[in-house]
Amino acid sequence: MQTLVQYLISSGIFGRHAPYELVAAITVIVMSAAVFLGVAFPFAGMVSWVERRVWARIQSRVGPNRVGPNGFLQWLADGVKHVCKEDIVPDEADPTLFKLAPYLVVLAFVLPWAVMPFSSSLILADLNVGILYMTAVTALTVVGVLMAGWSSNDKWSLIGGIRSAAQIVSYEIPAGLSIFPVVLMTGTLSMQGIIRAQGWAPQHWFLFANPFTMIAAIILFISALAEGNRTPFDLPEAESELVAGFATEYSGMRYLFFFMAEWGNLFIIGAIITTLFLGGWQFPHVTRNVVVMNVLQLITFNVKVLFLVFVSMWIRGTLPRVRIDQLMSLCWKYFVPISFLDMVGTAIWVAIWPNGNEWSGYVMFAAGIVVGVIFVQRVIYYLRRSRMELYFRPTI
Amino acid sequence: MEALAIYQRLKDQFGDQILEIVDRKTDPYCVIAPDAVVEVARFMRDDPEIAMDCLSNQSGVDYKDRMEVVYHLFSYAKRHGAVLKVKLPRENPAVETVEKLWSSANWMEREIFDLIGVNFTGHSDLRRILLPEDWVGHPLRKDFVEPLEYHGISTVRESPIIRLESKRK
Amino acid sequence: MNTLHTEEMTLNMGPQHPSTHGVLRFVVRADGEIMREAVPDVGYLHRSIEKIAEKVGYHGFMPYTDRVDYVCAMFTNQGWASACEKLAGIEVPKRGEYCRVIAAEFNRLASHLLSVGTMAMDIGAMTPFTHALREREMINDLIEELCGARLTFNYMRIGGVAFDLPPGWREKALAYLDHFEPIFDEYNALISYNKIYIERLANVGVISAADAINYNLVGPNLRACGIKWDIRKDVPYSVYRDFDFDVPVGEGRWGKLGDAMDRYMVRIRELAESARILRQALTRIPSGPVLAKVPRNFKPPAGECQVRIESARGDMGWYVVSDGTAYPWRVHVRTGSFAAMGIMQKLSRGLMIADLVTIIASLDVIAPEIDR
């Protein structure tokens, strides 16, 4: 960034004696606008299209298919439509908070992109507290959502906002604790550092490093779904109960902001898990060309993230919603104790094998494959062979 | 038990309170005195032979010279049914509620109160159920005349055929 | 510290709310997420259909009966037709009765599919709804071919049905059943045994058998409480005597007997039973006329009768009073949803707001049927 600013000043676009701070500020604003408008927002839009298509396929519908090839530009059309719509602020609402809330939610969605490790060099800022920063800024959502729920002056919004606050704050704990095993094993909080500690092959991923990390990965994924208000934890906006939850009173662009943040958060959820457990951008060292290598790493990272995004869409298309008390008991009775034990277990593991255990990677990977095969078999069984007898023996 | 046998048993039990037993091919019924409704109903519910555990239907009928409340009782235990009727005067019809015997009567009595205008004394929550609270009159009465407007909303509309013809001209 | 003072909140759920299945309103008194009470307020869809009956005459009322319960209009048609036939002592031709049963059972499939689909949607799973509606669309296509309408059928007439089965329809219907029976297993696998789904439904809105009878619950809601009572089986009307089918009852397999899961499961199993009846009816349908000779100026003798038929929402009672003229003196429809709403206030106490949605869905109430 500094080199860029120096270059801009020396090139004389702003004149020879332009103040450094001003140029830096303009550059930062332009750069971040470019990143967010060029990467984050289109990505959220595209995810919305992908989600609607995937979901439609799951539900044996067609989905959006009119605007652009296969409806690919639907997200643009929707965005334009929402921007053009009237922005209604209810009379009874608290206008300041009401208007501020969507920006906070969007802020919580754009800030993590600063430490998003797309490849070995494509990262805005490789903070030495990267993962901590990530969890900290994503938790900003709760402020925005609670603000939206409160300021709407609508009981449904309020319940939605409170539910959301309870849910996000609760699930922060198991999510945060599930990051610890990886941090214990790598000794760093930097995103790039964590990725560099893993290898490109699955058995070198932290997902398969030892049993504790696998459990941590699963807990983190579920908690992240809960934090991102995704099915089966979409209680804050449960449309069959709370109309649209905290977003009930919003319209037009502000409404769009909430949903953009939700879809964008899918990517962030995927990115966190990919970084921590799935080896991030790690790719076999096939060429010495740095640019080609970076492109390959970028593709690897995105494929992994998009797979996780797809899984979360798949879950959304399959599962019903849990109730608030079940949600809370799942978090506090199961996830929090398990993740604490998990942390202790990892600590012991690291004490015994400070440099990791080569064999456990292979064993865990094999175990993972077995689990996957059993899962697929069960799916096939349910789809093909389940009959009315299932009613009488629901456990088969 | 056949319906007629039930009525006979009621006659034996209550004597004068059972005003009339009408024997017909379809749905024979018996008419009971308005004062004795709860008494007879309680007997029918609690008697082990009759054991009417369900009030299956309750409707009000306006006969221009009188009001009737009809109780269709049914017994899941014995699998038989019976029809009771109460004849009420047309002016200020009132009869005691059977809500305490069968909870389903709560809503059905509210509906009769709403649409026919029979007052159920002792009912816990006798409000209009289907119509708005400020509605005047009871629409299922034969002499009900629909008001021309309700809160400024007209209740009559031009016949679409007439409107079409006038447009054509 | 054992009592924390909290303020109750009065929530107004409806009349326009995504999960109230029509225009219903609940005044919910809630303490946070926990409901103290939900008081139903009905009547937003009241069209005074009973009054209309007094104005339009016997034949003319048939299309209006569709509107009593538009989700399973065949049964309201059938109830009205049967009541008039009982009043006038008309014998319906055998083929006409079979046509009625076939149409009605297809309609029951459609209604139950909608019911279980919306139930899954209210719990938060969107996919089963579209899968259920996909199947329902095919039934709608079949019925459209039969009577020209997809929702408000106006198919039955006093003394039979309006139209005979079109040529080739029987084979199509049988082919549909071939398709439907395995699909319905898929549906089961998709949602019925889902852990979250069972957790959400089991032990919610438990109705005891005594309460169910006391509140006059009918149909699947009653059977879910363990009472084996089906008008088709116990007081057979039409030609149901000819068919071999079971009456599914709730078993309390996943929670207490009479909970929402039982009600859901009874509906699911009734789908299979309806398919069984349909198969038998379609293969055994006799030839002959479908409509008895009924005078155009239909004047039943003075008298009154009550007819109970098993609609998709249970025992539907048609109480008709005739004074011997061409217009009925009084018509009263006792519907399953009306009774089911009566128990709502009692059921809702102490549950969570999310459970209210579950209960509404599991009782399968349809707003027009409550308000008529």
Q: What value does the mean pLDDT take over residues A288-293?
A: 80
In chain C, positions 328-357, which contact chain A (CB-CB < 8 Å)?
352-355, 357
Distance CA B82, CA A62 (A): 55
pLDDT digits (tens, 9 = 90+) for C7-20: 778 888 877 777 66
Q: Does the distance separating the beta carbons of A386 and C185 come in below 8 Å? A: yes
- Give the residue from chain C lying closest to B83, CA to CA: C306
Q: Could you tell me what percent of chain A has a pLDDT over 90?
A: 0
- Closest partner residue to B61 (CB to CB) among C214, C317, C321 is C321
The helix/strand/coil state of B48 is coil
- Angle made by CA atoms C200, C201, C202, in degrees to the nearest 5: 105
What is the three-class DSSP state of A277? helix
Closest of A107, A101, A140 to residue A227, by C-alpha: A140
Residue A337: strand, helix, or coil: helix
For residue A95, report the phi and psi dihedrals to the nearest 5 degrees: -60, -40
pLDDT score of C197 more than 80: yes
pLDDT computed for residue A395 by the predictor: 39
Q: What does the alpha-carbon distance between residue C156 and residue A52 come to, in Å, rounded to a whole number?
A: 42
Contact C197 A320 (CB under 8 A): yes
**Whole-number average pLDDT of chain B:** 82
Q: Is the minimum CB–CB distance between C317 and chain B shorter than 8 Å?
A: yes
Relative to beta strand B119-121, strand B94-96 is parallel
Query: Is there a contact between B80 and B1 (Cβ–Cβ < 8 Å)?
Result: yes
Angle at C101 between CA C100 and CA C105, to 5 degrees: 120
Q: What is the pLDDT along chain B (169 residues), one digit of tens a residue?
A: 777 777 777 777 777 777 777 777 777 888 888 888 888 888 888 878 778 888 888 888 888 888 888 888 888 888 888 888 888 888 888 888 888 888 888 888 888 888 888 888 888 888 888 888 888 888 888 888 888 888 888 878 777 777 777 776 6
Cβ atoms of residues C248 and C264 within 8 Å: no
CA dihedral C213, C219, C223, C224 (to 10 degrees): -100
Q: Name which residue leads in pLDDT, A124 or C133.
A: C133
The beta-carbon neighbor of C33 closest among A318, A324, A383 is A324
Domain B3-130 class in CATH: alpha beta
Contact at 8 Å (CB) between C193 and C199? no
Three-state SS at A219: helix
Residue A387 has pLDDT above 50, yes or no: no
Interface touch C126/A317, C-beta < 8 Å: yes
Q: Is residue A393 predicted with pLDDT exceeding 60?
A: no
Q: Which of B86, B84, B81, B40 is nearest to B63 (CA)?
A: B86
- CA-nearest residue to C355 within chain A is A323
Check CB contact under 8 Å for C353 and A240: no
Cross-chain residue pair A232–C9, CB shorter than 8 Å: no
CA distance A379 to A390: 14
What distance in Å separates the CA atoms of residue A118 and residue A126, rounded to the nearest whole number? 11
Q: Report the residue of chain C nearest A163, measured CA to CA.
A: C33
Q: Contact B146/B68 with Cβ under 8 angstroms? A: no
In this complex, do A240 and C131 lie within 8 Å of one another by their Cβ atoms?
Answer: no
Query: In the 8-state DSSP scheme, what is residue A245?
Result: G
pLDDT digits 0-9 by tens, A184-214? 888 888 888 888 888 787 777 887 778 888 8
- In chain C, residues with a C-beta closer than 8 Å to the C-beta of A61 are 130
- Judging contacts by C-beta atoms under 8 Å, the chain C residues touching residue A243 are 17-18
Helix (H) or strand (E) run with residue A369 in it: helix A358-385
Contact flag B103-C214 (C-beta cutoff 8 Å): yes
Are the Cβ atoms of B139 and C43 closer than 8 angstroms?
Answer: no
- The whole-angstrom distance between C133's CA and the closest CA on chain B is 31
Helices (H), C235-335: 260-284
Task: Tell me if C123 and A320 make a contact (CB, 8 A cut-off).
Answer: yes
Peptide bond into A232 cis (omega under 30): yes
pLDDT digits (tens, 9 = 90+) for A148-187: 888 888 888 888 888 888 888 888 888 888 888 888 888 8
Interchain CB distance below 8 Å, B57 and C332: yes
pLDDT of residue C39: 85
Cis peptide bond upstream of C289, omega within 30:
no
- Residue A390's pLDDT is 41
Which amino acid is present at C197?
Y
Is the ipTM higher than 0.90? The answer is: no
Residue C175 touches partner A, C-beta closer than 8 Å: no
Residue C300 DSSP label: P
Q: How far apart are CA B68 and CA B19, in angstroms?
A: 14
Q: What is the pLDDT of residue A198?
A: 82
Question: Across the interface, which of B26, B53, B130 has its CB nearest the CB of C371?
Answer: B130
Chain C nearest-CA distance from B51, in A, is: 12
pLDDT in tens, A316-336: 888 888 888 888 888 888 889
C334 at the B interface (CB within 8 A)? yes
Residue C134 forms contact with A (CB below 8 Å): yes
Subunits with at least 3 CB pairs below 8 A relative to chain B?
A: C
Strand (E) or helix (H) holding C132: helix C127-147
Chain B residues in contact with C339 by the CB 8 A cut-off are 104, 107
Q: Kindly tell me if the per-residue pLDDT of C47 is higher than 60.
A: yes
CB contact under 8 A, A238 and C354: yes
Minimal Cα–Cα distance from A389 to chain C, Å?
10
What is C33-91 written as a DSSP string?
TEEEEEEEE--TT---HHHHHHHH-TGGGHHHHHTTSGGGHHHHHHHHHHHHHHHHTPP
Q: What is the pLDDT of residue A240?
A: 63
Q: What is the mean pLDDT of residues A279-292?
A: 80
Any contact of B with A, at least 3 CB pairs below 8 A? no
CA distance C123 to C142: 30
CA-based nearest distance C42→chain B, Å = 6
Superfamily of domain C49-366: Cytochrome-c3 Hydrogenase, chain B (1.10.645.10)
The Cα C221–Cα C205 span in angstroms is: 11
Q: Find the farthest-apart pair of alpha carbons in chain A and give their distance in angstroms, rounded.
A: 83
Inter-chain residue contact C189 with A390, CB threshold 8 Å: yes
Partner-chain residue, chosen from C211, C227, C319, that has the shortest CB–CB distance to B70: C319
Provide the token pair at A276: 């921590």
Asked whether residue A396 carries a pLDDT value surpassing 50, the answer given is no
Q: In chain C, which residues have their Cβ closer than 8 Å to the Cβ of B107?
A: 338-339, 341-342
Contacts of A324 in chain C (CB under 8 A): 33, 352, 354
Give the distance from CA C31 to its chain's centroid: 33
Question: Max CA-CA distance within chain C?
Answer: 79
Domain-by-domain residue ranges, chain A?
85-356
Question: What is the spatial distance between Cα C217 and Cα C210, in angstroms, rounded to a whole number?
Answer: 10
Q: How far is A344 from chain C (nearest CA, A)?
A: 30
Facing residue for C200 by CB, picked from A59, A320, A390? A320
Tokens of C277: 């009846």
Kindly list the residues from chain C whose CB atom is less than 8 angstroms away from the CB atom of residue B27: 304-306
| Furthest CA-CA distance within chain B | 74
In this complex, do A324 and C354 lie within 8 Å of one another by their Cβ atoms? Answer: yes
List chains adjacent to chain C, taking adjacency as at least 3 C-beta pairs closer than 8 Å.
A, B
Strands (E) across chain B are located at: 18-22, 29-32, 54-62, 67-75, 80-88, 94-96, 119-121, 149-150, 153-154
C194 has a pLDDT exceeding 80 = no
> Which pLDDT score is estimated for A2?
59
Chains A vs C: touching, with 3+ CB pairs under 8 Å?
A: yes
Burial of A355 (0-12, 13-18, 19+ CB in 10 A): exposed
Alpha helix ranges (H) inside A187-210 = 191-196
Cβ of A383 and C189 within 8 Å?
yes
What pLDDT does A388 receive?
Answer: 41
Which residues of C are less than 8 Å from B62 in CB distance? 330
For residue A382, the model assigns a pLDDT of 62
CA distance B142 to chain C (A): 9
